[in-house]
C-alpha cells in the first residue's frame, strides 16, 4: 500500500505542475489584455465575427474571466469550474481561428496582448491552442477519475 502511494506521488506532482503552469499562463495572458483593452479590441475586430459593441464588451470581460479562472486553478479553488470555463473559451477561440483561416483573413491573434507580427501564422497558433486544450482536458479528466 505504501509502495502504491509512493508510485502515485510523481504523477500527482506532474499534474500539480501542469495545473499551476496552465493557470499561470492564463493569468499572464489575461493580464496583458487587461492592460491594453484597446489593442485586444482591435485584435477581436480582425476576426470579423462580432459586431463592434459585442467585441467591446468581450474585450473587457473575457480577460478578467481568463485571469480569475487561472488564479482559481493555481489556488485550487473552484478548479472544475475554472477548467470548464477555460476549455470552453479555448474551444471557441480555436473555432474562430479555423473560420478566419477558411475565410483567408489576416488576423491579429491578440493571445498575449501584444502581437509581435501582423502576419498570421495559423498553424503555429492552432498547434499552441490545441496543446493548451489538451492539457486542460487532461487535468479535467484526471480530476473526474479521482472524484469517482
Partner 1 sequence: MNQFIKETGLICFIAFFLSLLTWCFHPDTPNFHKNDLEEGSILLKTALQSNERVLWVDARSKENFENDHIPGAVLLNEDNWEYLLAKFMEKWKQDFKVIVYCDSQSCKTSKYVAQRLQDELQLENIYTLHGGWQTWMIEQNQ
Stretch that binds partner 1, among 9-17, 20-28, 100-108, 129-137 (CB under 8 A): 100-108
d(CA 69, CA 132): 14
Instruction: Give me the least distance between CB of 40 and partner 1, in Å please.
Output: 9
Q: For residue 50, what is the DSSP state? A: S
Burial group, residue 30, by CB count within 10 angstroms (0-12, 13-18, 19+):
buried
**78 scored as a contact of partner 1 (CB under 8 A):** yes
Total count of residues recorded for the chain: 148
Nearest CB to partner 1, comparing residues 110 and 135: 110
Question: Cα–chain-centroid distance for residue 69?
Answer: 9
**48 scored as a contact of partner 1 (CB under 8 A):** yes
| CA nearest to 47, candidates 92, 85, 86, 87 | 92
**37 scored as a contact of partner 1 (CB under 8 A):** yes
Nearest CB to partner 1, comparing residues 14 and 60: 60
Cell of 85: 470555463
Q: Which of 38, 145, 146, 148 binds partner 1 (CB under 8 A)?
A: 38
Stretch that binds partner 1, among 3-11, 18-26, 75-83, 140-148 (CB under 8 A): 75-83
Amino acid at each position: 500500500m505504501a509502495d502504491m502511494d509512493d508510485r502515485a506521488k510523481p504523477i500527482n506532482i506532474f499534474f500539480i505542475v501542469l495545473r499551476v503552469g496552465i493557470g499561470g499562463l492564463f493569468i499572464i495572458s489575461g493580464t496583458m489584455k487587461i492592460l491594453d483593452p484597446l489593442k485586444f479590441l482591435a485584435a477581436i475586430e480582425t476576426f470579423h465575427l462580432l459586431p463592434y459593441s459585442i467585441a467591446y464588451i468581450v474585450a473587457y470581460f473575457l480577460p478578467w474571466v481568463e485571469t480569475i479562472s487561472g488564479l482559481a486553478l493555481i489556488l485550487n479553488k473552484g478548479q472544475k469550474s475554472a477548467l470548464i470555463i477555460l476549455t470552453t473559451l479555448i474551444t471557441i477561440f480555436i473555432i474562430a481561428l479555423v473560420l478566419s483561416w477558411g475565410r483567408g483573413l489576416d488576423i491579429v491573434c491578440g493571445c498575449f496582448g501584444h502581437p509581435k507580427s501582423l502576419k498570421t501564422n495559423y498553424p503555429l497558433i492552432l498547434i499552441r491552442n490545441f496543446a493548451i486544450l489538451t492539457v486542460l482536458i487532461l487535468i479535467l479528466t484526471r480530476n473526474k477519475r479521482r472524484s469517482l
